[in-house]
Amino acid sequence: STEFQPEKCLTLKVGYALNDLWSLKLFKKSLNNGKHFIVLSIERQRDEQRVQVIMKLSFTDLHSNKTLSAQCFKRLRSIDKSKRLNLNKPINRMLYKSEKFRVTGKIYLRLISKPVSLASPQTLITLSTDFRKMCCNTIYSDVNLRCGSEVFAAHKTVLAMRCPKFNEMFKENVNEVTIDVKDLTPHVLKAILLFIYSGVPDPFTFQSACDLLIAADKYGLIELKVLCVNHIRSSFTVKNVLDYFLKYEVAKTYASEFIEENISEIEKTEQWQNFRTEFPDLVSEILQDSFQMFDIENDEQLIEVGQVTEVSSCNDQAPDESVQS
């Protein structure tokens, strides 16, 4: 606990994780128009890895004993040493007026794997091209996949080695020459087969990425799932994300994540004003979904950095305005 002076910075040393030292900085800022706000930023010593930061913090005014909680996360790119975090208005108001307060909570990290790269040496490109020619080719095929009104010729060895779901199918139907695929559409099945054979998907649209994401999850195609998610995330803008949130159920989690990270810009758009008027109940759902997607107690990929406890020093000056937001 400490007295919190305007234009002074509190540095909360959190802990050491992922070969880096992590800390929080909390300071007050005043604008020329007379408005005030609280800035909270997560900082690290190095900038080599892509990391997701997940936090559960509680702020208690020691005079009134009022406690407010914040749940938020941010992504740090490999070039980022710091990220500003948004605190909601009630917390902002309480902290700015508070003469003395306590901060408690926990911080977790998740290392973000690098996107699957399609770049490869020429020999692998040739291999991919040659195997692609085998897809749906009857030459030396030993199984037919029947999906709706269409039948696709395939090769059991290739499918079993590349796809866990097909491997299970063939174990259950050892002597069957024709196997029914009832949980996919013909279009999606063909797209999956092309990826299984070549390792390279056809160019995505947002719709096809969503369809293939569902199928890749069912069939255990992790690399395809990563590519689909990357395309979905890269498709969002502040103007289209709300439409995608409403239209595509499978993209809701990623849309909520984008909204959480870009809420200050999205709130300025006409789409957001219309959305708040038409779907008021969904506004709080969107801002909560991005945090609730993490199962903190059971997620083995999360690394606890440390616990934030009482702060006893606020001698540092406020960080420079250039802190990345």
Task: Confirm if 146 and 179 have CB atoms less than 8 A apart.
Answer: yes
Measured over the CA atoms of residue 162, residue 166, residue 171 and residue 175, the dihedral's sign is: negative
Residue 1 has pLDDT above 50, yes or no: no
Residues 249 and 214 both lie in one domain: no
For 199-233, the three-class secondary structure string (H helix, E strand, C coil) is CCCCCCCHHHHHHHHHHHHHHCCHHHHHHHHHHHH
pLDDT of 18 higher than 80? no
Q: Identify whether the C-beta of residue 323 lies closer than 8 Å to the C-beta of residue 80.
A: no
Q: Is 193 found in the same domain as 156? A: yes
- Are 60 and 111 in a shared domain? yes
pLDDT of residue 247: 93
- Assessment of whether the complete model's pTM goes beyond 0.85: no
Cβ count within 10 A of residue 121 = 8
Instruction: Name the residue range of residue 94's domain.
Output: 9-116
Residue 306 included in any domain: no
Report whether pLDDT(72) > 80: no
Residues 203 and 292 in one domain: no
What mean pLDDT comes out for the span 52-81?
Answer: 80
Mean pLDDT (whole number) for 180-186:
94
Q: Are 45 and 37 in contact (CB under 8 A)?
A: no
Is the domain of 50 the same as that of 106? yes
Position 309 in a domain:
no
- Element (DSSP H or E) covering residue 32: none
With respect to residue 55, please indicate whether it lies within any of the assigned structural domains. yes
3-state secondary structure of 170: helix
Is the pLDDT higher at 106 or at 7?
106
Whether residue 273 is predicted with pLDDT greater than 60 in this model: the reply is: yes
**Cα 143–144–145 angle (5° rounding)?**
120
Examine the domain organization and report whether 244 and 176 are in the same domain: no
pLDDT at 297 (0 to 100): 57
In this structure, are 184 and 265 located in the same domain?
no
Which of the two residues, 214 and 99, has the higher pLDDT score?
Answer: 214
Report the CATH number at residue 159. Answer: 3.30.710.10
Looking at every residue in the chain, the average pLDDT score rounds to 79
Q: Is 108 inside any structural domain?
A: yes
Joined together, the tokens standing for residue 8 give 């002074």
What is the pLDDT, as a whole number, of residue 87?
74
Give the domain-ending residue among 231, 249, 274. 231
User: Confidence class of residue 67 from pLDDT cuts 50, 70 and 90?
Assistant: confident
Residue 216 has what pLDDT?
94
Q: Which range, of 7-16, 131-140, 201-210, 314-323, averages the lowest pLDDT?
A: 314-323
pLDDT over 90 at 306, yes or no: no
101 domain-assigned: yes
Q: Of 294, 232, 298, nearest to 52 (Cα)?
A: 294
- The encoded tokens of residue 261 equal 């990270």
**What is the CB neighbour count within 10 angstroms for residue 213?**
24
7, 42, 87, 88, 317 from 31: Cα distances, Å: 11, 22, 17, 18, 17
The 10s digit of each residue's pLDDT in 280-291 is 888 776 765 444
Residue 18 lies in a domain: yes
Residue of higher predicted confidence among 145 and 260? 145
Domain count of the fold of the chain: 3
Residue 244 counted as domain residue: yes
Distance CA 264, CA 301 (A): 29
102 lies in the same domain as 135: no
Quote the strand ranges of 233-286, DSSP E.
Answer: none
Residue 290 lies in a domain: yes
pLDDT at 252 over 60: yes
Nearest CA-CA partner of 147 in 180, 175, 176, 122? 180
* Residue that is last in its domain, among 53, 81, 116: 116
